[in-house]
C-alpha cells in the first residue's frame, strides 16, 4: 500500500524546489559561459600564429617598464 501524503512538510518541499531551481539557474549560466568561452577559442585559433595585435604589445610593454 502506497502512502498518499509526503513525509515532508510543504515548507520543506518549497525550500527543496527553490534550491533545485537555484542550482539549475547556476548550471544554465555555467553552460552559457562555457559556450562563450568555446566560441572565443575558435576565433583565437583562426588568427595566424605570426600576427600580433597592437593591444597585445601594449600590455607587454607596460609590464616591462
pLDDT bin (cut points 50, 70, 90) of residue 11 is confident
Question: How many Å is the maximal CA-CA distance in the chain?
Answer: 79
Assess whether pLDDT exceeds 70 at residue 62. Answer: no
pLDDT attached to residue 48: 61
Higher confidence at residue 24 or residue 10?
A: 24
DSSP H or E segment with residue 3: none
Q: Domain residues of the chain, as ranges?
A: 11-46
Higher confidence at residue 5 or residue 9?
A: 9
| CA nearest neighbour of 8 among 60, 31, 17 | 17
What are the tens digits of pLDDT across the range 22-58? 999 999 999 999 999 988 887 776 666 566 566 655 5
Amino acid at each position: 500500500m502506497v502512502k498518499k501524503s509526503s513525509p515532508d512538510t510543504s515548507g520543506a518541499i518549497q525550500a527543496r524546489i527553490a534550491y533545485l531551481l537555484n542550482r539549475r539557474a547556476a548550471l544554465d549560466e555555467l553552460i552559457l559561459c562555457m559556450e562563450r568561452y568555446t566560441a572565443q577559442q575558435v576565433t583565437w585559433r583562426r588568427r595566424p600564429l605570426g600576427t600580433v595585435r597592437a593591444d597585445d604589445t601594449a600590455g607587454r610593454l607596460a609590464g616591462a617598464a
